[in-house]
Structure 1
Amino acid sequence: MCRSLATLSAAVFLSACGTGASPPAGDGSQTLRYPQTERSAHVDEYHGVEVADPYRWLENVDERTAAWVRQQNAVAQPYLEAIPARQKIKARLTELWNYERYGIPMQRAGRYFYLRNDGLQDQSVLYVADSLDGEPRVLLDPNELREDATVALGEFVPSPDGRLVAYSLSDGGTDWRTWHVREVQSGRDRPDILRFIKFREASWTADSKGLYYARYPQRADGSGDDSKQMSIWLHRLGTPQSEDVQVFAIADHPTRNPYPEVSDDGRYLVITVYDGSLSTGIYYRRIGPDGTPQGEVVRLIDSFDAQYQFVDVIDDVFYVRTSADTPNGRIVAIPANATSRTAWRDVVTEQDFALVDATLVGGRIIAQYLKDAHSLVRVFDLDGRLAYEVDLPGLGQVEGFGGSARDRRTFFAYGDFLTPTSIWSLDVETGKVTLFREPQFAADTSAYVTEQVFYESKDGTQVPMFITRKRDFRKDGTAPTMLYGYGGFGIAQLPAFSVPVYVWLEMGGVFAVANLRGGGEYGEDWHVAGTKLQKQNVFDDFIAAAEWLIAEKYTSTPKLAVRGRSNGGLLVGAVMTQRPDLFGAALPAVGVLDMLRYHTASANARQWSSDYGLSENEAEFHAQYAYSPVHNVRPGTCYPPTLVTTAESDDRVVPWHSYKFAAALQHAQGCAHPVLLRVETRAGHGAGKPTWMQIEDWADQWAFLVKALGMADVETTG
C-alpha cells in the first residue's frame, strides 16, 4: 500500500528552495534544509501585551499552506525512510500486529453485534450472530468502502428489536459522521442518511422506528457548521433528513451543547448538556411509545457546578453519577418530579477511589473505580448495598459493562501493558466472570514486567508512574526510555496493551507512563489541580518524572524521549520548551500548541476552556502565555531532535497548531538537532486510522528515535 503523504521529490524540493531556505540542520550524519517559511509582521494585543504571530498565515486552508506542507513532507519522509532500522521495525510491527482481536459484544433482542479484526485488516469488521454461540456473519465490512481503507466505521447502535443497526462512517479521519441504517437480515442499507453530526451516537426510539440525534446547523454551501451549537432532532425512518423535527435547542447560553439518549424503558428523552469537562447538566422530556415528545423539557439538573452522568431511570427515578460535593464521585437517585436537591438520595456513597463510570444492568449498579491508576469494579444493589467486587484478571484497565436493566449478562474488556485485550462476561446476579474471547499474540510477554513507582513533583505531590521493562533490566543509565503522558480533562492514563510499545521493549527500550495531575486518576481534585491557572502543575509533574528516571539510573538525558498526543502533544511542547536540556528527543503528536488561539477553531475547541481557560480573560491569558509552546520557542536555543506529527483532516485539534510549532522550532533551532514535520493527508485526530497507516506512522517514530537516541544494533525480536 502506498503511503498517504503529500509528497514531493526531494531533489525537486531542494533545488526549488535555493539559497532562500531556512538554515540547514542535521544530526552530524545527514544535513537537512528546511522549507522557507515566511514570517509576517502580524501582532495581536492581549490585555495590553503585544504578541507576535508570524505564522498566522499557516492557519489558512489554501494552496499556499498545502504547498508548504508538501515541502515539509519532502524533507521528513526521505529522512525517515533512509534510517536503516526503519524497515526492520516496520516488518516486526506488521508481524506482531497480525493477531485476531474482538470488540465487546452488544446484545439486542437475542442478537449479538460485535467488531472483529483478523489481524492485519485495515478496519475492524462488524459481525452479527443470532445467539451468543451462533455462527457469526459479516454485517458491515468498511474495508470494502475505499481502496486505501480510510473510510472507517465510527459508531454502531442496534435497534431495540435487533432488526436494524444505525451506523456512522468517517471519511479520511474527520470527526464528521454520516449515519446510515442497515437491515440486519438482508444486509441492505435503507435510504435514511443523517449528516452534520459529530461526537455522539444516535439513539433509537423504543419502537425501533425513529432516531434521536444531535447535529450542527448547515451552512449555505451544504456543509456542517461546527462553529455553532448543536441541537437535537428526531428522524423517522423512511423520511428525508430535511423533514426531521427539531425537539430541543439551547437558547439561553452561547456555548453549551445538548446530547440525546433514550432511556432504557423508552419513556424519557434524556438530554445531557455539556459545557466542558467540569460542567454538565441533565434535562429530560417524556416521550410516547412511538418516541414522540410529550410535554415540556424539564431541567432536572441545571446548576452546571460539577460532572453529572446519566446512568438510567427506573420507575421514574433517575440514577446519576456526579462529582458534586464529592471529588471522588457518588451515585444519587433523583425522582423525576424533584424540584430541589433535598429530594436526592445517595445510593452509592463516595468511596476511597475515583468513580469514573457506572452502568445499570440486571437491576444492579456496576461502578467502575480507579485505584492508583488501575481498574476496580464493584457491584451494588439499588439500595446501595455492596453485592460483590468483580474478580478482574489483573491490575489493568477494563471497559464495557453495558446492557439493560433486564439483562443478566454483561461483557467487558480487560488489558494491561503486557496483556493483549481479552473479552470477558459477567453474570450480574452471581458475580461469576468467564473468559469469552482471548487473543493469541505471537510473542512471549513474560520476559517483561511492569512496576509502579511514586515520585515527588516540584511542589511535593506524590505522582504515580508505570514502568515496563525487561525482567533482567540493569539500572545503569543507558537504556533508551520513552516517557509518555497526557494530564488533562480528567482522563486517566491506565495500563493498556500496544503492539508498538511491545516492539519498543523488544528494541531494548523502557516504557514509562506518568499519571499526571489534570487526569482523573484520583478524582476531581486531581483533575482540577492541573487546569487553568494551575496547568503548570502538569508540566512540573512530567519534568519531575523525567528527572526521577534519570536519578534512578533507568536512563539518561541522551537516551530519554518524551511523547504525547493531543493534550499530551501540548504537554511535550511545553516541557521541551521549558527544559530543552532534559530530553534526548521529543515526539509531539496532533498537539494543542497555540494556547492563545486554540478556541477559535470550533465550538468544540472552545469548550476545552474548562481545562485551559481563555486568552480573553486576563489572568488566564498570562498563565497560557507563560507555557504556550508556540509562544515560548526561543531563538538560538538547542532543542532536542523533534518529530512533530499531525494530519490534514484533523478537525478536532486542527493541524495549524503543529504547523506553527514546527515552523517556530525550525527558525529558532540553535544546534544541529533535526526538527521534522510529518503530515498525513488522509487521516484525522487518530480514530479510524487504517492498520497500514498506523504501522507506517509507528515505524517512522521508532526509527526517528533509533537515530536520535543513538540506538545501535537494534533488535526487534524478543
Structure 2
Amino acid sequence: MPALAYPKTRRVDVVDAYFGMTVADPYRWLESDAARDADVAAWVAAQNTVTADYLATLPGREVLRNRLTALFDHEQVTAPHKRGTRLFHARNPGLKNQPILFVREGVDGEDRVLIDPNAWSADGATALAEWAASKDGTHVAYAVQEGGTDWRTIRVLHVESGTVLDDRVEWARFTGISWVKDGSGFFYSRFPARQPGAASTAGISGHAVYFHALGTAQAEDRLVHATPDHLGLLHVVEVTDDGRYALIYSTPGATQNALSLVDLASQDWAPRALIENFDNQWALLGNTDETLFLITDRDAGRGKIVALDLAGEAPAFTDVVAEQEGVLNQGKLLGGELVLAYLLDAKTDLQRFERDGTPAGAIELPGIGAAGGLRGDPDDDEMFYVFTSFNAPTTVYRHDLATGESSIWAAPRVNVDLDALIVDQRFYPSKDGTAVPMFIVRRRDVTGPAPTLLYGYGGFSISLFPFYSPAQVAWIEQGGVLAIANLRGGGEYGREWHDAGRLQNKQNVFDDFIAAGEFLKAEGVTRPDGLAIQGESNGGLLVGAVVNQRPDLFAAALPGVGVMDMLRFNRFTGGQLWTSDYGDPANEADVGNLLTYSPYHNIRPGQDYPAILATTADTDDRVVPGHTFKYIAAVQAADVGPRPHLVRIESRAGHGAGKPTDKIIAELTDLLAFAARWTGLEVEAKA
C-alpha cells in the first residue's frame, strides 16, 4: 500500500488547563467556520481532493452507485394526518431529492401535490422540514430548511388555492408547529434573532414558545413561555386534539423534561406548572375533557401510563397502565382507547387498553419489526400506523379499531428479493457479563464467515430497531453481513439501560461494541480481517473511541458526523444539551472521565489502525464539522499504520435531516465501496 500524501495540516501552540492537567489542542484553528475562514476552506478543499482521488480507485464503486440508485427508486410514504375531511402525507415517488407534501380529499380520494420543495433550489438541498395542517385542514404551516441547517423559516399555505401567504416566521429552531383549534394561528419555538453570519455557530440560549396569528407580522407574535432564569432550556409545545390545552415540554437536553400547561380557554394564556423538575420523562397521549393521559418513567423505568386530573387546584396523578415487560415507546389516545407501542427486545408489540387500564388485546403486526407513527383522532375508530423491518419496506397500514382489522394504505414496490434475506437476533455477553442483543441480517445462502458491517449508537436513550434501508440491502445483496448492536446507553430496555451507558458509565457502551465485534469473529459470522464498523453522531463518537481502544479488531471504520473532542463539545451550537449523557467539561470528575475516551485525545501512535473514512458536512450546526476536522488531522499526523485515513466533507448538507437523495446515494456509494475494499467484499453487478 503506497502511502497517501495527506494535506499538511498546520499545528498551533494551544494548551488548555483542566483542574491541574494540561491538554494540547494543536488543531484548534480547524474549529473555525469554513464559510468565513479561508485557511479552513483551503484545508477542506485539499482533504476532499485527496479523498476523491482515492475513492475513484475503489473497485465496484460504480456497481454500488447504480444498485443504490435502483434500490432508492421506490415510493416512500408517511402515515397521514387527518384534518377535517382531508388527509395530509409526505411522499417521495422514488428518486426525488426531497419528499413532496400531498393532500387527499377523503381516505380513498386522489392525491394532489401541495408543496414540492424540489423546485426550491438547484441542488435540491432546500428541504421541507416540520409541517402541520390546521385542525380544519384549510391551512398548512411548514418549515423550510436550507442546506441541512437546524434553523427554520416557517411559511403558511392556503390548502384550497395553493397560495402561500405573506406570513413569515424566522429564527425557529428545535421547534414543532401546533395550531389552535379555530385555525387562527399556531405555536412554535424560536431563539432570539442572530447577527448576519452568526447563526451557524449560535448556541441555545433564550429558546421560547410564541404564538403566531395568521395575517400578522412576526414582530406581533405573542410570547407564551420563556425561562429567563434558565436560558439553556428548550421548550416545545403541543396542543391537545380537542384544542383545549397547550402542553409545553421544557428540557435541558436530557430525555427528562418539565411540563407546563396553558388553558387556551383562558384570556391570559398563563402557563401553569405541572412538573417543575427534570427527574423524569413525560409525554402526552391525549385527553378527555380535563383529564390528560401521559407516558412517564416516574417510578417505572420502562414506562407507564398515568392520568392527570386538572379539575382541582393541585394536579392529581393516577396510575392507569402499569409498567410492563416491554419498554413503552410511544402511544396515543385513539378510538376512545389507549394504543401503546412497546419494545420487546428492540421489536415492537402494539397493545390496546381501555381508558381505565383494562387490556383490550393486541394489534397483530405483519411480522417482527418496528411499528409507530400512530395517527388518528381520539374519538375515531380509524387509525394509521407504519411498519418496517430489515426485510420489509416501510408500509402504511389503516387499522379499524372497531373490527380489529388492518389493511394496507400505502405499500412500496421494491426491486429486491426480500425472501432471500434472513434476520436473526442473537444475545452476546459484554465485558461485564451483561447480555446485549444484536440483529444479524444476511443473504439466506451466506452461511460461512463473510465481510460484516457492524452498526451502533448507544446514547441518549435512542433505540435501534429493525428498519428497511436500501444501503443495508445493497451491502447484504453483495454477500456481506449486517449486524446492529443494541448497546447500553440506548433506550431498548428503559431508563436503567440508558443510565448504564452514560456519564461515568459511558465506557460500557464501548465495551458492548467491542464485545459485539469479538462475538462476530468468535461465532464465525465475520472473517478475522473482515469487520467494518459504522455509526453517526453519538455513533461517530462510538466508532472513534473503539478504534482507539481496539484498533486490531477492525478492518475499516466509518465515523459519521461524530462528537470527537469531548473537552469542547459543549462550546458549540447545541452541545450544552449533551452534558446529560456525557458530563460537563467544566466539572473535574467529568473531565477525568471524558479524557479516557475522547477520540481526538486518545489516538495511539505505533498501533496499526483500520482504514478510516470519516464523513461530515460543512453546514452541520448540530455537531459542528470541527470535531471531525480536528480528529482526522490528528489521525493523519500520527504513526498509525499504512491504511488510508480520510475525510469526506459534503457541501450544503447538515447533520442528516434534509439531505437530498442524490447526495445520500453519492455518500453511501463511497462508504460501502470503502468498507468493501477493506473487508474483502467482492462487489459484482447483479442481474
- Please tell me the TM-score bracket, short chain as reference: over 0.9
Counterpart contact for 1:508–1:715, Cα < 8 Å: no
Q: Which of 61, 66, 69 is matched with 1:91 structurally?
A: 66
Task: String of CA shifts for 1:351-390, please: whole Å, max 9, x gaps.
Answer: 0111111111222111111001111111111101111111
Amino acid corresponding to residue 346 of structure 2 in structure 1: A
1:512 has 2:483 as partner: yes
The answer for the alignment partner of 1:643 in structure 2 is 613
Structure-1 separation of matches of 2:580 and 2:491: 14
Given that residues 207 and 232 in structure 2 are in contact (C-alpha distance below 8 angstroms), is that contact kept between their aligned partners in structure 1? no
Residue in 1 aligned with 2:329?
356
- Structure 2, unpaired ranges of 5+: none
Question: Quick one: which amino acid aligns to residue 555 of structure 2?
Answer: G
2:105 is aligned with 1:130: yes
- Please give the per-residue CA displacement for 1:294-332, whole angstroms capped at 9, x wherever unaligned: 353211111221111122232211211101111011010
Amino acid at match of 2:360: A
Aligned to 1:45: 17
The 8 Å contact of residues 328 and 342 in structure 2, kept in 1 or not, is answered as yes
1:210 aligned residue (181, 185, 207): 185
- What residue is the counterpart of 1:703 in the other structure? 673
Q: Does 1:236 align with 2:213?
A: yes
Does the CA contact (< 8 Å) of 2:15 and 2:25 recur in 1?
Answer: yes
Q: Secondary structure at the match of 1:558?
A: coil
The answer as to 2:116 corresponding to 1:116 is: no
Alignment partner, residue 671 of structure 1: 641
Q: Gapped runs of 5+ residues in structure 1?
A: 1-27
Report the residue type matching 2:600 in the other structure.
Answer: V
Q: Separation in 1 of the partners of 2:246 and 2:469? A: 38
2:291 aligns to what?
317
1:408 to 381, 394, 397: 381
Per-residue CA deviation, residues 524-555 of structure 1 (Å, 9 max, x unaligned), is 10011000000000000000000000001111
Work out whether 1:58 is the aligned partner of 2:33.
Answer: no
Give the structure 1 partner of residue 279 of structure 2.
305
- Equivalent in the alignment of 1:275: 252
Asked whether the equivalents of residues 303 and 323 of structure 2 are also in contact (C-alpha less than 8 Å), the reply is: yes
CA 1:619–1:362: 2 relative to 1, 3 Å: same
Report the AA paired with residue 542 of structure 2.
Answer: L
Give aligned pairs, total: 682
The structure 1 residue matched to 2:5, chosen from 8, 26, 33, is 33
Aligned residue in 2 for 1:260: 237
How far is the alpha carbon of 1:236 from its aligned partner? 0.8
Q: Identify if the C-alpha distance between structure 1 residues 425 and 470 changes in structure 2 by more than 3 Å, giving closer, same or farther.
A: same
1:174-194 Cα shifts (integer Å, max 9, x gaps): 111111101111111000111
1:605 to 558, 575, 598: 575
Structure 1, 252-261 or 502-511: larger mean CA deviation: 252-261
Partner of 1:19: none
Q: Deviations over 1:145-177 (max 9, x none)?
A: 112111111021000111111111111111111
1:612 partner amino acid: Y
CA–CA distance in structure 2, aligned partners of residues 496 and 512 of structure 1 = 13
What residue in structure 2 maps to residue 7 of structure 1?
none
Partner of 1:663: helix, strand, or coil?
Answer: helix
Contact 2:241 2:378 in 1 (8 A): yes
Other structure's SS at 1:401 match = strand
**Aligned residue identity for 1:125:** I
Question: 2:156 aligns to what?
Answer: 181
**TM-score, length-scaled by structure 1:** 0.93
Contact 1:506–1:715 (CA<8 Å) still a contact in 2? no
Shift of 1:691: 1.1
Structure 1 pair 627/239, CA: closer, same or farther in 2 (3 Å)? same
Structure 2 residue 223 is the aligned partner of structure 1 residue 246: yes
Q: Distance in 1 between matches of 2:361 and 2:115?
A: 38
Structure 1 contact 558–709 (Cα < 8 Å) conserved: yes
What CA distance in whole angstroms lies between the structure 1 residues aligned with 2:64 and 2:277? 52
1:605-629 deviation line (CA, Å, top 9, x unaligned) = 2111111111111111111110010
| Contact 1:503 1:716 survives alignment (8 Å) | no
8 Å CA contact 1:584–1:641 kept in 2: the answer is yes
2:306: which partner in 1?
Answer: 332
Aligned match for 1:621, one of 574, 585, 591: 591
CA contact (8 A) 2:446 2:479 kept: no
Q: Measure the CA separation in 1 of the matches of 2:194 and 2:69.
A: 43
Q: How big is each residue's C-alpha offset from its partner over 1:270-304, in whole Å with a ceiling of 9 and x where there is no partner?
A: 1111123332011112113xxx7535321111122
Structure 2: how far apart are the matches of 1:297 and 1:108? 27
Worse overlay, 241-250 or 460-469? 241-250
Q: Is the deviation greater in 544-553 or in 313-322? A: 313-322
Q: Match of 1:715?
A: 684
1:78 is aligned, of 53, 57, 61, to 53
Deviations 1:106-165 (A, max 9, x none): 110010111122211111111111111111111011111112111111021000111111
- Shift of residue 404, structure 1, vs aligned partner: 2.5
Separation (CA, whole Å) in 1 of partners of 2:80 and 2:457: 29
Contact 2:204-2:232 at 8 Å conserved across structures: no
Which residue of 2 is the match for residue 3 of structure 1?
A: none
What is aligned with 2:517? 546
Which amino acid in structure 2 is aligned with residue 694 of structure 1? I
1:594 aligns with 2:565: yes
Question: Helix, strand or coil for the counterpart of 2:666?
Answer: helix
Deviates more, 1:553-562 or 1:518-527: 553-562
SS at match of 1:294: coil
SS in structure 2 of the partner of residue 697 of structure 1:
helix
Deviation by residue 1:14-35 (Cα, 9 ceiling, x = unmatched): xxxxxxxxxxxxxx1x542111
Asked whether the equivalents of residues 506 and 716 of structure 1 are also in contact (C-alpha less than 8 Å), the reply is no
Seen in structure 2, the aligned counterparts of structure 1 residues 240 and 517 have a Cα distance that, compared at 3 Å, is same
Residue range with higher mean Cα deviation, 95-104 or 654-663: 95-104
The one-letter code matched in structure 2 to 1:583 is: F
Query: Match of 1:139, as an amino acid?
Result: L
Amino acid across the alignment from 1:156: W
Cα displacement string for residues 573-605 of structure 1 (whole angstroms, at most 9, x for unaligned residues) = 010010001100000000111111111112x32
Residue pairs, 1:562-601, within 5 angstroms: 562-601=533-572
Give the letter aligned to residue 353 of structure 2.
F
Name the counterpart of 1:10.
none
The secondary structure found in structure 1 opposite 2:376 is: coil
1:146 pairs with 2:121: yes
TM-score by length of 2: 0.97
1:393 to 366, 371, 375: 366
Identity %: 45
1:459 corresponds to which residue?
432
Aligned partners of 2:367 and 2:466: how far apart in 1? 10
2:416 corresponds to 1:443: yes
Separation (CA, whole Å) in 2 of partners of 1:339 and 1:396: 44
Of 139, 152, 163 in structure 2, the residue corresponding to residue 164 of structure 1 is 139
The 8 Å contact of residues 77 and 410 in structure 2, kept in 1 or not, is answered as yes
Question: Aligned equivalents of 1:571 and 1:716: distance in 2?
Answer: 33
- For the residue of structure 2 that corresponds to 1:344, the secondary structure is strand
**Range with bigger deviation, 197-206 or 576-585:** 197-206
Whether the 8 Å CA contact 1:282–1:300 is kept in 2: the answer is yes
- Letter matched to residue 274 of structure 2: L
1:424 match: secondary structure = strand
C-alpha separation between the residues in 2 aligned to 1:617 and 1:628?
16
Contact 2:480–2:681 at 8 Å: present in 1 too?
no
Worse-superposed segment, 208-217 or 312-321: 312-321
CA contact (8 A) 1:277 1:307 kept: no
Letter of the 1:717 counterpart: K
SS at match of 2:622: coil
Q: Please identify, of 55-64 and 403-412, the stretch whose mean Cα deviation from structure 2 is larger.
A: 403-412
What is the rounded CA distance, in whole Å, between the counterparts of 1:430 and 1:199 in structure 2?
Answer: 39
**3-state SS, counterpart of residue 33 of structure 1:** coil
